[in-house]
């Protein structure tokens, strides 16, 4: 199967490549053309997933298609963006029709849920890797960024934490477990749902935001640094799913929530006056701490005593927790 036949058969004719709002020209030319309404800015983010680093070599292609787009679209949610389109650069060791069919179906399923269209990309031969670039739009001046948190703000997250980290032993085959708890954690790992609607609702309300990909403490450190403030996290207020607590010890579950990564929930700072309005529509949002004058991220126990975290989160280069 040649490159152009591969693109035509599995991607150009896929439902997620049919175009949509904001897509003036999709697959088939040298460039895609995107149309922005007046008064809006383009939000762009790129993620690369590499076999053996971000997912097992034998990962199910349908689930991999789900996950690849979800983790990229989550960056749009973190900025309060509305999705428009995405591109896919796919490096394959071989053009296997069964693998490509599963991957394309998973990709399109997530694209449908996110309201985003495939508009182009590239294919090449080599070790399996996926690079996705997502495009979204946001009103001028309303994008959520990591800078802007202010002393007195609340530190919030968009739902349960630690499920991605808890799923990892199951994904890697280090833990064998069947049942609804394992199923839930695996679903959270392979098909995290980008919190797009929450991100858009936080425009004009949150003072800073990002999505949690490398671990709560590590990612909150980006907000603290960009905003020039200190974030204080209450360990006893971390929202944990029943599945995570049911499969693992309390200490392991808490460590997953603090530094496990792969949650793709939003973490954001919010004036207290805005909390009720957010909770009315998103009751799963949890307040886990506060913003104060100072620097860095600090962890407190139930008695208000500062704890030493076990690790900050995942890093591609350097020692963990550096």
Q: Could you give the domains of the chain? A: 3-139 (3.30.1330.10), 154-307 (3.90.650.10)
Q: For residue 269, which of 284, 286, 291 has the smallest C-alpha distance? A: 291
* Average pLDDT rounded to a whole number, residues 26-43: 94
* Average pLDDT rounded to a whole number, residues 245-262: 94
Tens of pLDDT, residues 41-62: 999 999 999 999 999 999 999 9
The pLDDT of residue 15 is 86
Tell me the average pLDDT of the chain. 93
Of the pLDDT bands very low, low, confident and very high (cuts 50, 70, 90), residue 320 is: very low
* Average pLDDT rounded to a whole number, residues 99-110: 96
Q: Which residues of 177-214 are buried (b: 16+ CB within 10 A; e: fewer)?
A: eeeebbebbbbbbbbbbbbbebbbbbbebbbbbbbbbb
* Average pLDDT rounded to a whole number, residues 199-222: 97
Does the pTM surpass 0.95? The reply is no
* Average pLDDT rounded to a whole number, residues 252-278: 96
Tens of pLDDT, residues 117-163: 999 999 999 999 999 999 999 999 999 999 999 999 999 999 999 99
């Amino acid at each position: 199967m040649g490159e152009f036949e591969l693109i035509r058969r599995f991607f150009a004719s896929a439902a997620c490549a049919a175009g949509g709002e904001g897509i003036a020209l999709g697959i088939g030319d040298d460039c895609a053309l995107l149309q922005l309404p007046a008064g809006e800015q383009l939000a762009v983010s790129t993620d690369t997933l590499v076999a053996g680093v971000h997912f097992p070599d034998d990962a199910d292609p349908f689930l991999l298609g789900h996950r690849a787009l979800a983790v990229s679209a989550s960056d749009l949610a973190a900025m309060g963006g509305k999705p428009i389109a995405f591109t896919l650069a796919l490096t394959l060791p071989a053009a296997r029709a069964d693998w490509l069919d599963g991957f394309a179906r998973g990709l399109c399923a997530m694209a449908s849920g996110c309201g985003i269209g495939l508009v182009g990309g590239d294919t090449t031969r080599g070790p399996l890797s996926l690079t996705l670039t997502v495009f979204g739009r946001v009103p001028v001046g309303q994008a959520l960024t990591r800078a802007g948190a202010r002393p007195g703000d609340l530190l919030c997250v968009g739902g349960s934490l630690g499920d991605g980290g808890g799923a990892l032993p199951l994904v890697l085959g280090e833990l064998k477990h069947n049942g609804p708890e394992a199923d839930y954690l695996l679903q959270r790992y392979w098909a995290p749902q980008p919190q797009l609607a929450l991100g858009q609702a936080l425009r004009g309300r949150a003072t800073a935001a990002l999505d949690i990909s490398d671990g709560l403490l590590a990612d909150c450190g980006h907000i603290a640094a960009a905003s020039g403030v200190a974030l204080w996290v209450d360990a006893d207020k971390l929202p944990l799913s029943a599945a995570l607590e049911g499969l693992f010890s309390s200490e392991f579950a808490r460590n997953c929530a603090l530094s496990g990564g792969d949650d793709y929930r939003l973490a954001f700072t919010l004036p207290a006056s805005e909390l009720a309005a957010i909770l009315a529509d998103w009751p799963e949002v949890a307040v886990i701490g506060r913003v104060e004058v100072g620097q860095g991220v600090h962890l407190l126990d139930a008695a208000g005593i500062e704890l030493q975290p076990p690790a900050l989160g995942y890093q591609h280069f350097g020692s963990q927790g550096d």
